[in-house]
Structures are given as C-alpha cells and as structure tokens.
Homo-oligomer: A and B are copies of this chain.
Amino acid sequence: MIKKTARYKITFAYDGSNFAGMQVQPHQRTVEQVLTVAVNRIAKKPQPPVAVIASGRTDAKVHALGQVAHFDLPFEIEPVALLKALNSSLPLDVLVKKVEPVSFDFHARFSAHNKRYRYRVSQGEFVNPFKRDYTGHFKYPLDVAKMQLACQDFVGEHDFTSFVASGSNVKSHVRTIYSATVVPDNTQNEIVLEFSGSGFLYNQVRIMVAVLLEIGTGQRAVDDIPKILAGKDRQLARWTAPASGLYLVSVGYENNLHNTTKSIDEKGNLK
C-alpha cells in the first residue's frame, strides 16, 4: 500500500522572549519543538513522527515575523483548514500566517534564496519596560548619517569571518549582502537596521549591528568595516548586540516552488 503524502510550507511569526531559540534542544522550550508537537497532533501521531524543517536557526530571545518551515503530512488537507488547526494547537507566542502546499522539491532550508533581518535599537537614558524584550537598548547618542554611510560597506560578497560567533562550524564564511539600511524612527525613539542577504552566519547580524553602533558613537571610524572584513578575525569586531532586538523578517524562495494561497494579513485577518 502506497501512502499518499503531501508537503506544506508554513510562514510563521513568533515572540522569541520565552523560547530557547528555533531549533529543538533537549529539555528546552523551542519554536521547533512546539511546532513539531502541533503538526504531529494534526497528523494523528504517525510513527516515525513528522519532522518540521525550518529555514534555519534563530537564537534564544530572537523574534520572527516571517520564519519559514516545511513538513510532510500523511494526507492532504486544505491549506486554510491546516492554518486554523495549527493556530488552535500552538501556544499564543507562535502564529502561523500562511500555509502553502508545495512540491517535494521545496526544502525550507536548501531552497532559501535570501533572508531579511531587522534590528530595533531603542534609545534614551532608560529602558522602556515595554521594549525590554523587543529592542536592543543603547543609551548613547548615535550619528545616523555615519551609520547609513558605513553600512553600505557590508553590501556585496564578503568573507564574514570577523562577523561570526566562535561557536560556528560552517565551512565557508563567504556570504552576499544585497541591501543594508539604517532608518531612524523618531516617534519611537528607535533606530531600525535592516539587512537582506543570501544567508547569515551565526550571530552575524548582531555583530554587524554592534560595529555600526560603535561607528554611530564615533568610537570607530566610519570606514572601519572594510578593514574589519579584510582582517578575518572575530576579535576585530568586538561586541555582539543583544538578541532581544533581532527579527527574522522574511525568507525568500523562487516563486515557482509553491503556489500562493490565503494568508493572515497585518491586521490578523485571513485574506
């Protein structure tokens, strides 16, 4: 007997505050773990269990607005029914925003073409209690124009050895940054940094943000980034910005790998 299976791509948001990151770890509450529980409940607990494959890791406390994963179910199901079943089953700090049936060629990690990250820096002498888990707080005045100029030095293909945490064991540190922006949000007293690229190394965005903050305070020269990249030495980049300010905004794929379908809009409604 041949079982009919079907592959689904899900796009989901999570508040990372109470998670020990994306990836399953023993005795820890992770996003992958709560998703795997929910998916296997819907799949009626098959043996072996259904595996949920994400586009990549995010660290403890890091948030996502549009993380992506895929999994195979032992049956076909309407995307909207699956979306509702997942959101009924998941805890409130994870929200599945979109479900798409995809071909078995689609792989959340290997098919990913690009990722976009956002980093929210909150300013002011004291931390707003409502932002403590949702921004990285930095009290010193920043020259945003300098940061805007300097961040362009990240754009292009570079060896990011100076911008990878020591825990990483990937072979190549070469990555391509497609765009980098630094935008002040004066009503919120925040500075918002965004990076899109082919992929990012462990802690790369948080180390890039920390270097840009040092450029913003004048502790570093505005043309320091090419030197740090060329040095290929993690010690050159020094700090890592806190996880709480980081958001995985979106993961990009080639469009022909999946069909569009209904999703939850910015207002929380199905559209």
The answer to whether B267 touches A95 (Cβ under 8 A) is: no
Contact status B124-A267, CB under 8 Å:
yes
- Bound-state Cα–Cα, A124 to B264, Å: 9
On chain B, the residues within 8 Å of A254 by CB distance are none
**Residues of A within 8 A of B (CB-CB), count:** 27
Task: Check A128 for interface membership: any CB of B closer than 8 A.
Answer: yes
Residues B126 and A264 in contact, CB atoms below 8 Å apart: yes
Q: How far is the CB of A60 from chain B (nearest CB, A)?
A: 16
Taking the complex as formed, is A129 at the interface, i.e. its CB lies under 8 A from any CB of chain B? yes
Contact with B along A99-129 (1 / 0, CB 8 A): 0000000000000000000000011111111
> Contact between B268 and A127 (Cβ–Cβ < 8 Å)?
yes
Report B-chain residues with C-beta under 8 Å of the C-beta of A129: 13-15, 92-95
CA distance A95 to B92 in the complex (A): 26
B15, B87, B122, B128: the one contacting A95 at CB < 8 Å is B128
A83 to B, closest residue via Cβ: B126
Shortest A86–chain B CB gap in Å is 10
Residues of chain B within 8 A of A130, CB atoms compared: 13, 15, 63, 134
Closest to A14 in B: B129
Q: Which residues of B contact A169 (CB under 8 A)?
A: none
Given A267-B189, A268-B189, A87 contacting B126 (CB threshold 8 A) = yes
Copies in the complex: 2
Contact B87 A269 (CB under 8 A): no
- Assuming the A-B contacts A93-B132, A134-B130, are A125 and B15 also in contact, with contact meaning beta carbons closer than 8 angstroms in the complex? no
Whether B127 contacts A92 by the Cβ 8 Å rule is yes
Within 8 A of B (CB), among A124-173: 124-130, 132, 134
A99 to chain B: closest CB distance in Å?
13
Q: Would B93 and A267 count as touching, CB distance under 8 A?
A: no
Interface assignment of A270: CB less than 8 Å from any CB of chain B: yes
Name A264's closest neighbour in chain B (CB-CB).
B126
Q: Is the CB of B132 within 8 A of A268?
A: no
A residues with CB within 8 A of B: 13-15, 63, 87, 92-95, 122-130, 132, 134, 189, 264, 266-270
What are 29 A-to-B residue pairs whose CB atoms are below 8 Å?
A13-B128, A13-B129, A13-B130, A14-B129, A15-B129, A15-B130, A63-B130, A92-B129, A92-B132, A93-B129, A93-B132, A94-B129, A95-B126, A95-B127, A95-B128, A95-B129, A122-B268, A123-B268, A124-B264, A124-B267, A124-B268, A125-B268, A125-B270, A126-B264, A127-B268, A128-B268, A189-B266, A189-B267, A189-B268
